Amino acid sequence: MATFCGSRYNNNELVNDKGIVMNQPKMTDVAKKAGVSPTTVSRVINRRGYLSTKTINKVEAAMRELNYRPNMVARQLQSQRTMTIGILVPTVANPFFGELTYKLERDFFNAGFKVLIGNAENDVEKERLYLQQLLARQVDGLVIATHNHQQQIPEYQNANLPIVSIDRYLRASIPNVSSDNYAGGRLATEELIARGAKHIIHTDSVERFNKRDYLRQQAYQDVMNEHGLTPVTYKIDFGSQPELMRQFFNRILDEHPEADGFFASNDMDAIQLLQTARQREIRVPEDLQVIGYDGVPTTTRIVPELSTIVQPLDEMAKVAVDILQREINGERVTGSHNLPVRLRASASLKQ
Amino acid sequence: MATFCGSRYNNNELVNDKGIVMNQPKMTDVAKKAGVSPTTVSRVINRRGYLSTKTINKVEAAMRELNYRPNMVARQLQSQRTMTIGILVPTVANPFFGELTYKLERDFFNAGFKVLIGNAENDVEKERLYLQQLLARQVDGLVIATHNHQQQIPEYQNANLPIVSIDRYLRASIPNVSSDNYAGGRLATEELIARGAKHIIHTDSVERFNKRDYLRQQAYQDVMNEHGLTPVTYKIDFGSQPELMRQFFNRILDEHPEADGFFASNDMDAIQLLQTARQREIRVPEDLQVIGYDGVPTTTRIVPELSTIVQPLDEMAKVAVDILQREINGERVTGSHNLPVRLRASASLKQ
């Protein structure tokens, strides 16, 4: 269930239905239509200087309406490309973002770009500092995979540079690449039910500005309700210390001795539950079946018994790199690009 | 057992033992002594253009002999700093290099530098491509933590840019930051013996151009011999597929049913052994005690029972960033900087 939405300029000659080449619109036509100066149009095209979102939208609407195609060669010369991309993640020390950064860098390298990285951690001010530096024309484009609340970061609203986000919403005109979180949540819950689980507990992150976990939880609730089962969701602060995590999972199992299935919105939580189950001598999968989410190769190599919903990181990196290159080349790309997930069934599920 | 070796220029005025300020040597004095032109001296100081190792060594020897101190302000203006550092690792998808890259980037960011990363994988040609790009004055300095054989990469012999390497030897004039691998190997083996193990198996990597594993193995052998015990080392190709790894560790346990201790030169191997032991219903730590190596937080969080020799990644990053900044500021730093390790004792060791 992959959805691709994107508007792009026509790269062919403008030809009408009788095969006659029509007059190409000029930059001055766009300026007139948008009610701005040609200099402003040029700045929008070349993504230079600070422009209000309103101005950008007005100029882009006029360009679409007139099917105006900027002169690419001139644009490239003028834009002083750095052939450098900035990638912001919470931290490459997390295996998910380490794997994602590796794949993004590999694909950008093959496309001729260097990659600057920033570990914004969970620090709004650090993310803003990175953005203020990188938006000052030090990079040709940005990949944003951080987890801070975008409303606390005004730079995203004014950013006038090609951006693609991974798994988060920044603003309507910035394209977003995700795996299909709703489909993943459904798949996990349906598999647990199909293998006999009836009392399925779900855990997800307390972050609510990130739609990702919300969709996984929504899917879990929908499937449970469709089967006449009672959904039970616990919220976890992802950055918690190991000791707090142990207490948390023990509490879940204390409060729900009837639990025979468990769907965690990330693999670290699922692994913590597997450890807790082992300490309590609960048999997995006989008495408790477990599915996590993410499926990063390093993690499943360390814990091969973990069943999990595998995010297509290879594809996500590939699509993000493709979108950003198209944006850098002057196309306007928008929309959510949801890539299909798959189940990795292993020893934590019944056969 | 930390060893710091480094020569640096005197940053004070030249004052003789009677307190009289002496004549400062000039660049022309250095040129005369080295038998080269002043331009060549300038190029060595500013690390510009291609110079033979012989010329660099000659000029640096003359500078040391004359205690010549370049004019730092002029040097900085002349050197057109990019305030950018390049970091080359095998891949940030590996938790060890993900953690290291995170800490390096964090410390460079705090020092005002941006960080370009390259995942050289185990590909000599890819590493050479990165170097050819980065050495062309795109960065102020490089951190090299890759695992390819430096003799296949002539760029390191001619590189005329500040470099610090992590855990590997590149050439005599390039400083190297490591944890104390010999002390770590000793500590692991001595702990297993102190807790009653007598038949201790050791695994390490097949890479031999990397001194790291060699020192761990050497320490293991020395301690075993000191205690009148027989060392047994198996070599593993680190990149092996999970199925081959399973077969490999099963073979070790088939061939050594008497094994009661196990020291792996990296945590991934130790974790694989823990899995194999569990499948064979060998009790850990009662019948088999296990110590790994690296101690990356992500890994020990996923496998909390793992006992391991913890590399001081925080300190290693801090020292590497400090050395590189000193090199960028015109100091010459050389030598091996070995930082102390510690044992993380957990459930895979007897109390």
Q: Along chain B (351 residues), what's the average pLDDT of each consecutive run of 10 residues?
A: 34 43 71 86 70 80 77 50 92 96 96 94 89 84 88 83 90 92 97 98 76 83 98 84 89 97 95 94 97 95 96 97 94 91 97 87
Domain presence at residue A349:
no
Q: What is the C-alpha to C-alpha distance for residues B67 and B73, in angstroms, rounded to an integer?
A: 18
Q: Given the structure tokens 């008497």, which residue do they identify?
A: B258
Strands B114-119 and B84-89: parallel
Of A49, A80, A111, which closes a domain?
Answer: A80
| Cβ separation B101–A114 shorter than 8 A | no
Shared-domain flag, residues B215 and B282: yes
Q: Which of A348, A2, A1, A299 is nearest to A191 (CA)?
A: A348
Shared-domain flag, residues B42 and B162: no
pLDDT given for residue B326 in this prediction: 94
Whether the predicted pLDDT of A7 surpasses 70: no
pLDDT given for residue A54 in this prediction: 81
CATH number of the domain that A202 lies in? 3.40.50.2300
Shared-domain flag, residues A317 and A174: yes
Shared-domain flag, residues A208 and A265: yes
Shared-domain flag, residues A297 and A214: yes
pLDDT given for residue A264 in this prediction: 96
pLDDT given for residue A304 in this prediction: 94
pLDDT given for residue A10 in this prediction: 36
Which domain, by its residues, includes A275?
181-312
* Residue B279 touches partner A, C-beta closer than 8 Å: no
Shared-domain flag, residues A47 and A163: no
| Cβ separation A298–B119 shorter than 8 A | no
Shared-domain flag, residues A218 and A333: no
- Chain B residue at shortest CA distance from A90: B102
Whether the predicted pLDDT of A249 surpasses 90: yes
Residue B165 backbone dihedrals phi, psi, to 5 degrees: -110, 150
Domain presence at residue A351:
no
pLDDT given for residue A39 in this prediction: 79
Q: What is the DSSP letter of B87?
A: E
Q: B263: buried, middle or exposed (CB in 10 Å: 19+, 13-18, 0-12)?
A: buried
Domain presence at residue A347:
no
Q: Given the structure tokens 């496309």, which residue do they identify?
A: A111
Residues of A in contact with B107 (CB under 8 A): none
Size of interface A-B (CB pairs under 8 A): 93
H-type alpha helices, chain A: 27-34, 38-46, 53-66, 72-79, 95-110, 124-135, 155-158, 181-194, 211-226, 242-255, 267-279, 297-302, 313-328
* Residue B50 touches partner A, C-beta closer than 8 Å: no
Report whether A139 contacts A85 (CB < 8 A): yes
Residues of B in contact with A109 (CB under 8 A): 118-119, 126
Of A38, A63, A80, which closes a domain?
Answer: A80
Q: Edge to edge, what strands does the sheet with B289-294 contain? A: B232-236, B200-205, B261-264, B289-294, B307-310, B342-344
Domain presence at residue A165:
yes
Q: What is the C-alpha to C-alpha distance for residues A266 and A277, in angstroms, rounded to an integer?
A: 17
* Residue A295 touches partner B, C-beta closer than 8 Å: no
Q: Given the structure tokens 């660049």, which residue do they identify?
A: B27
Whether the predicted pLDDT of A139 surpasses 60: yes
Q: What is the C-alpha to C-alpha distance for residues A185 and A180, in angstroms, rounded to an integer?
A: 9
Shared-domain flag, residues B67 and B87: no
Domain presence at residue B14:
no
Q: Which residues pair with A192 in a beta bridge?
A: none
Of A80, A112, A142, which closes a domain?
Answer: A80
pLDDT given for residue B4 in this prediction: 35
Report whether A328 contacts A162 (CB < 8 A): yes
- Chain B residue at shortest CA distance from A108: B118
Q: What is the C-alpha to C-alpha distance for residues B280 and B262, in angstroms, rounded to an integer?
A: 15
Q: What is the C-alpha to C-alpha distance for residues B154 and B140, in angstroms, rounded to an integer?
A: 20
pLDDT given for residue B270 in this prediction: 96
Shared-domain flag, residues B222 and B298: yes
Contacts of B223 (CB under 8 A, 6+ apart): B185, B186, B189, B190, B193
Residue A79 half-sphere exposure toward CB, CA atoms < 13 A? 27
Domains contained in chain B, number: 3
Report whether A263 contacts A192 (CB < 8 A): yes
Higher per-residue confidence, A16 vs A106: A106
Among A93-102, A125-134, B285-294, the range scoring the smallest mean pLDDT is: A125-134
Domain presence at residue A346:
no
Domain presence at residue B17:
no
Q: Which of B102, B126, B304 sits opposite A91 (nearest CB)?
A: B102
H-type alpha helices, chain B: 27-34, 38-46, 53-66, 72-78, 95-110, 124-135, 155-158, 181-194, 211-226, 242-255, 267-279, 297-302, 313-328
What average pLDDT does this structure show over A182-188? Answer: 97
Rg (CA), chain B: 23
Cα angle, residue B264 at apex, residues B262 and B265 outer, rounded to 5°:
150
Long-range Cβ contact pairs of B43-52 (< 8 A, separation 24 or more): B43/B160, B44/B160, B45/B70, B45/B75, B45/B330, B46/B75, B46/B78, B46/B79, B47/B79, B47/B160, B47/B161, B47/B162, B48/B79, B48/B137, B48/B160, B49/B160, B50/B158, B50/B160, B51/B158, B51/B160, B52/B158
Please report the residues numbered 201 through 260 in chain A whose beta carbons come closer than 8 angstroms to any beta carbon of chain B: 242
Q: Does ipTM exceed 0.85? A: no
Whether the predicted pLDDT of A284 surpasses 50: yes
pLDDT given for residue A103 in this prediction: 98
Q: Which residues pair with A344 in a beta bridge?
A: A308
- Chain B residue at shortest CA distance from A96: B93
Shared-domain flag, residues B306 and B239: yes
Whether the predicted pLDDT of A238 surpasses 70: no
Share of chain A above pLDDT 90, in %: 57
pLDDT given for residue A211 in this prediction: 60
Report whether B167 contacts B176 (CB < 8 A): yes
Q: What is the DSSP letter of A295?
A: -
pLDDT given for residue A210 in this prediction: 58
Q: Edge to edge, what strands does the sheet with A307-310 contain? A: A232-236, A200-205, A261-264, A289-294, A307-310, A342-344
Q: Given the structure tokens 């920033």, which residue do they identify?
A: A118
Helix %, strand %, coil % of chain A (to 5): 45, 15, 40
Shared-domain flag, residues B322 and B237: no
* pLDDT band of A208, cuts 50, 70, 90: low
Q: What's the whole-number average pLDDT of chain A?
A: 86
Intra-chain end-to-end CA distance of chain A, in Å: 26
What confidence tens digit (pLDDT) does each residue in A11-67 have?
A: 333 444 454 444 567 788 888 999 988 778 877 776 666 677 788 888 888 887 887
| Cβ separation B119–A106 shorter than 8 A | yes
- Chain A residue at shortest CA distance from B313: A93
Tokens of B272: 């694989």
Shared-domain flag, residues A75 and A92: no
Domain presence at residue B320:
yes
> Cα dist. A50→A44, A53, B50 in Å?
9, 9, 41
Residues of B in contact with A122 (CB under 8 A): none
Q: What is the C-alpha to C-alpha distance for residues A253 and A91, in angstroms, rounded to an integer?
A: 31
Among A245-254, A314-323, B167-176, B288-297, the range scoring the smallest mean pLDDT is: B167-176
Whether the predicted pLDDT of A155 surpasses 50: yes
Q: Which of B255, B264, B269, B250 is nearest to B217 (CA)?
A: B264
Cα angle, residue B177 at apex, residues B120 and B122 outer, rounded to 5°:
15
Per-residue three-class SS string for B114-164: EEEEEECCCCHHHHHHHHHHHHCCCCCEEEECCCCCHHHCCHHHHCCCCEE
CATH number of the domain that A24 lies in? 1.10.260.40
What average pLDDT does this structure show over A120-149? Answer: 87
